[in-house]
Amino acid sequence: MKRLVDITVSAVGLLALAPLLLGIAIAVRLGSRGPALFRQQRVGRHGRPFTLLKFRSMGNQPTHSGPLVTASGDPRVTPLGRLLRRTKLDELPQLWNVLVGEMSLVGPRPEVPYYVALYNADERRVLDWRPGITDPASLEFIDEERRLAGSADPERLYRDVVMPEKLRINLEYAHRATVWTDMGLIVSTLARIVPVRRGGQPASGDDPRPEPIVFRTLAAQGLFAANTLARSGSALVLMPVLIALLGPEQYALWITVGAVGMYLGLTECGLGQTVVNEVGAAFAQGDLRRVGEVQATAHVLYWMVVAPTTLAALACLYLFPVGSWLLSDADAAYRPLLIGCLAVAIPLALLRIPLLVIPGVLIGIRLMPVRLAYELAGTVLAAVAAIAVAWSGGGIIGVVIATNLALLLSTLAVYRPTIRDRPWARLRLRAFRPGLLLPLASNSGFFLLISASYVLDRTALCVLATRMDSLVLAPPLFLALNLYRVAGWSLVSAIPMGVRPYVLLWHARGDRAAVQRALSLCTKGVVAGAALIVTATLPLLDLFSRVWIGPQHALGATTFTLIAAAFLVDALMLAPASLLIAVNRHRWLACCLAGKSALTLGLALAGGWIASNQLAGLAWGMLAGTVLGNLPLPLLLCRELALPLRGVLVPLVLKPTVASAALLFNSIATMQLTSPALRGVLVGAQLLTAPVLLWTWLLSRDEQRVVRGIARGILAKVTGAPADSNPEGASARPTLRPDREAA
């Protein structure tokens, strides 16, 4: 089971984090001379040596230059290297070591042969276990650099005191370790990497200056994007595995059940965002009693909605032909199985809804890393459970039960770290306040409409296709929708999400010029990002789907192109919609998005009924509905933010539309080539030239100057002053770090 978790998590991580890994590798190469990866021999299980991988965090000097250990203040460490070490991003390449079996996610940190030779007989027992990326000793000594910095002989202190103590901690843990304790350790590690606010007080070293706040905000949004990418990567890994174990039809049933679960999740009623807003305001004011009142009242309100919804949904399964509504006559044999899956999925999925108040409170009280860790743990646990149950012959119903239970358990597990050292964050029903029910419910209705719009965008086409055609269409459709509507959407939405707090500040100050400038840059950044995603993926998507899930599930280039085009259209309005929410102008936005979803659904149904090719008709209808449904948003933007219409239409609509259309047509032309190698070469060439074209076409000269200034600031933050770098190494004696690069 432990090895299954390692394989699943490492595969998902490498796929989902590929853009981040590439970006770090490029930054390392640009920051100093030398390769992006650092390789070093470490001692693995049973004393077998292996090559450990890390991102290089030092200047390119021989491994014998300087001590075997690294320390805070070591002149060999580059400024970017210090950032990578502090955030542990330098360890990400070790996911490859985990995938090939040389390491595990959780296990004693591997040492260099020099230190292993110093182990006594009892300490050598640590080599009976596969080394890991994290271990309990790493958490206990998370501030090890600071501890060693004050020693006159840091190396001796590490050898005689720190290393034996870490070995003792790891040996104690190894004898009682289980998959569940490992998962808890992973969650704890993720939660400790990023500093958070605790107990209403700033984290240690919290800096009120604007620059650190900007970087923390961008880092938080990067974590959101990485989390969603992990979910997308998990879905990508599960796809061929479950198709092989269950068959394409049962896998399609699993997708359908998941879509129904997302619709049932709308019984959350948008209350989660309201909880975040209310708890965040109370926490910022130090009103911890109000935090408990909002939490308890929201929990009760959830149950008031969920309990009757569960009974009504189960009654519908018994009284109405739900199977006929969701599956075509060609798949009538699978209708009883679908009803069985829904009968177990509905109560389990709805049971999670009242517990969502806990992660909502986490965001409100500034515990974003814990929230991220909970979601990542749930994703991993659900993926592992799905593979394990399918492998053991549990069938589709077993997979549905296992995945829902995994998500339920991960939601429950986050409660303990939430209340640790925060007794005021406990869920106490006696804090329930009836007077809060109506304000919470009324404000949440608009967020419900926004959530419903996003759910329909991600699932409607897949559900309609299986109903009007066949279950066999579900896997490739799910692949495309997951790529563009989930992963792509999350990547580009990180841009406006990161700017939201500042737009709110500028809007409150009446600084209309700053709001318009932020809106323009965010919109163009989102459009450029979406266009580059389509350029990189669309020409190769049909080939990839044939290889990944089999040629029998091929859809053809037309459907993939229409889904990508709809994604580009939505990207035009993503930043304006996000910033309208930021300035609390979401009511009319919610109505517009609800109307757009209804129009898209209606036109998709009409296209499916009219066209001879039902799938193409559905996709064309979806694209038409997306275009028409987004038309009112520029007018709404001008009305709500008091912006001139001409100042919105030309720079924020017309020019981005032309840029997106040009790159889309270029991708369509590339798809006509029959040679995969030639397609790949052209895609690479387009990715090199497209940023230049987008830069010159989309951005004005003033915006180019602003972006250059931001880029220079980030580059200075990453690379530091030349005087601080010593790429050739130095003979200065620094303080130590145990999992060293020189080591």
- Residues 431-470 have pLDDT tens digits of 999 988 888 887 677 777 777 888 888 888 888 888 887 8
- pLDDT (average), residues 464-491: 85
Residue 734 has pLDDT above 60, yes or no: no
Taking the CB of residue 170, how many other CB atoms lie within 10 A of it?
24
Residue 71: pLDDT band (50, 70, 90) is low
What radius of gyration, in Å, describes the C-alpha atoms of the chain?
A: 27
**Residues comprising the chain, all counted:** 743
The mean-pLDDT minimum among 1-15, 30-44, 638-652, 728-742 falls in: 728-742
- pLDDT (average), residues 397-401: 93
Rounded CA-CA distance 137/199 in Å is: 25
pLDDT digits (tens, 9 = 90+) for 515-527: 888 888 889 999 9
pLDDT digits (tens, 9 = 90+) for 526-572: 999 999 999 999 999 988 888 888 877 777 788 999 999 999 999 99
Residue 425 has pLDDT above 70, yes or no: yes
Residue 83 has pLDDT above 90, yes or no: no
Domain boundaries, the chain: 2-193, 473-699
Rounded CA-CA distance 373/379 in Å is: 10
Query: What is the maximal distance between C-alpha atoms in the chain?
Result: 81
* Mean residue pLDDT across the chain: 81
Rounded CA-CA distance 155/69 in Å is: 8
Q: What integer pLDDT is reported at residue 723 of this predicted model?
A: 37
Q: What integer pLDDT is reported at residue 722 of this predicted model?
A: 42
Tell the residue number behind the tokens 């939430």, with chain if given: 418
- pLDDT (average), residues 659-687: 92
Residue 346: pLDDT band (50, 70, 90) is very high
Tell the residue number behind the tokens 């001796």, with chain if given: 156
Residue 507 has pLDDT above 90, yes or no: no
Rounded CA-CA distance 286/638 in Å is: 36
- pLDDT (average), residues 737-743: 45
Residue 222: pLDDT band (50, 70, 90) is low
Residue 494 has pLDDT above 90, yes or no: no
Rounded CA-CA distance 457/284 in Å is: 35
What phi and psi, each to the nearest 5 degrees, are found at residue 731? -90, 0
- What percent of the chain stands above pLDDT 90? 22
CA 637 → CA 147, 642, 644, 653, distances in Å? 54, 8, 10, 12
Token pair in block for residue 708: 């250059």
Q: What integer pLDDT is reported at residue 283 of this predicted model?
A: 84
CB neighbour list of residue 674: distance below 8 Å, 6 or more residues apart: none
The mean-pLDDT minimum among 82-86, 172-176, 691-695 falls in: 82-86
Q: Which of 612, 693, 626 is nearest to 658 (CA)?
A: 693
Residue 732 has pLDDT above 50, yes or no: no
Helix (H) or strand (E) holding 310: helix 288-319
